[in-house]
Structure 1
Amino acid sequence: MTDIKQLEAKINYIFRDEKLLLTSVTHSSYVKEHSREEKSNERLEFLGDAFFDAIIGEELFKIFPNKEEGFLSRTRAALVCEKSLAKEARELGLGEYMRLGNGEEKSGGRTRESILADAMEAVIGAVYIDGGFEEVKRVVLNLFEEAINDAKHGKYVINDYKTALQEKLQSKGITDIKYTLVKEMGPDHDKTFIVQLEVDGEPKTKGRGKSKKQAEQQAAEEMMERYINVL
């Protein structure tokens, strides 16, 4: 593992309690193989996820004063998704600082997107605990400055709502996502398909389109717009 103080320099924040930063890069697999006194980064990840969403949401609210809620929700979802977090983690070289169990180490955990994204959120959570909201806001806006600027210029648009929704739900521990064809209308050469989206067995939204895939994408987009803020 690379010297953790180098990571402080990269994120431009010096911890008063350096153990918080160390915990933020400690994967659960490491804890299982070492002392029970060690803590994984899962709780910090939970906290970081909440503050990351809030900070990005506030920034988009300022950047786009005339945009509707649906646009803001979709843009935020694109900015805070696993892919975006993992990209920033790679740029920081966060994988080099990870404390992993032997199994995760051997299976390529240092470069795995999900592990990097979770650790990035955990670092954000650690900064909040150590320095408070203004400091974590400064760190987040600095680290994600390029992504936010891309959003300003319309580069952050969601083309695959199903994947974006799946990533968001999975980050909350929700994996039961089902799309069901409930109706077909029209002649064979010009059919319209209606698909229902269920989450944890509960019907949420419907989508329609000229293909099943198009209908599924619309159902996922509707879910993103209507429910993403309460997930």
Structure 2
Amino acid sequence: MANALRLAHTFRDGELLQKALRHRSAGAPHNERFEFLGDALLNAIIAQELFRRFPKADEGALTRARAELVRESALAGVAQTIDLAGHLQLGPGELKSGGHRRASIQADAVEAIIAAVFLDSDMATAHAFVLHYWEPLLQALPPISKIVKDPKTRLQELLQGRGHEVPTYELAGETGPDHAREFSVRCIIPQFSIETQGEASSRRAAEQIAADMALTRLLERL
């Protein structure tokens, strides 16, 4: 399985890899705990690399660069590199709906694999594993000071810079089964009578969509 997945790591304990590949829809034990650990490891490793490579960058620039490197699309790109889709363990419903092609599922599984590598070895090995796949992304980063801030940050800074309260975000609803949730989030700026709503497969992504819409409306009024 490891060779078929084109992984830069040979597992001593193959069960760890199997757990990392098992989606919630396939039943317990699934990979969500591995995702939790892998997300933390990836963020720490990328933060360390950015800190080392860009000694003059400030906190904000480093934070934006890290967000660029650990976002869902970056993880999904790594999933394609290792030919992950055909090796995911999904439940019948998720298989029927094409879940193996869903970027969010692939991204979560990549995080889970990072955790599995760490549990199978040590931090140094996990660090090398991440860099094996993220080095091209690090090399392709634009000048770190020019990475665009995310919509939520830009909206907040625009309002605060003009002496206004920051927007509030409210969960408007959740739909779909547990393994394919869709979140609706409202962004509210009462002083400008602006209310927008974003929908995505994660609450964080839905907030960003709502913030981007609100930012567009706000700029039209200023």
TM-score (norm 2): 0.70
- Any unmatched runs of 5+ in structure 2? 154-168, 170-180, 196-202, 204-212
Letter in 1 for 2:4: Q
Is the CA contact (8 Å cut-off) linking 1:150 and 1:156 kept in structure 2? no
Letter in 1 for 2:139: N
- Matching residue of 2:173: none
Aligned-partner residue type, residue 17 of structure 1? D
Q: How does 1:40-189 map to 2 (within 5 A)?
A: 40-151=30-141, 153-154=143-144, 157-158=147-148, 160-162=150-152, 177-184=185-192
Q: What amino acid maps onto 2:94 in structure 1?
A: E
Change (3 A) 1:99 1:155: farther
Aligned 8 A contact 1:78 1:156 in 2: no
Of the three residues 8, 17, 22, the one matched with 1:21 is: 17
Instruction: Give 1:179 deviation, angstroms.
Output: 2.0
Q: 1:162 to 1:146 in 2, by over 3 A?
A: same
Contact 1:4 1:97 in 2 (8 A): no
**Equivalent residue for 1:220?**
none
The answer to whether the 8 A contact 1:27-1:100 is kept is yes
Question: In the aligned structure 2, how far is the partner of 1:19 from the partner of 1:183?
Answer: 55
How many Å apart are 1:60 and its aligned residue? 0.5
Gaps of 5+ in 1: 32-37, 167-172, 185-192, 201-210, 218-231
Q: Give the 3 Å change call, closer, same or farther, for CA 162–20 of structure 1 in structure 2.
A: same
Specify the SS of the correspondent of 1:66.
Answer: coil
Query: Cα offset for 1:183?
Result: 2.6
Alpha-carbon distance in structure 1 between the residues aligned to 2:217 and 2:54: 29
CA distance in 1, matches of 2:146, 2:137: 8
Report if the CA contact (8 A) 2:16-2:116 is conserved: yes
TM (norm. structure 1) is 0.68
CA contact (8 A) 2:151 2:215 kept: no
What is the root-mean-square deviation of aligned Cα atoms in Å? 3.4
Where do 4+ consecutive residues of structure 1 move more than 4 Å? Answer: 152-156, 214-217
- CA offset digits 1:6-26 (Å, max 9, x no partner): 22xx22211111100011000
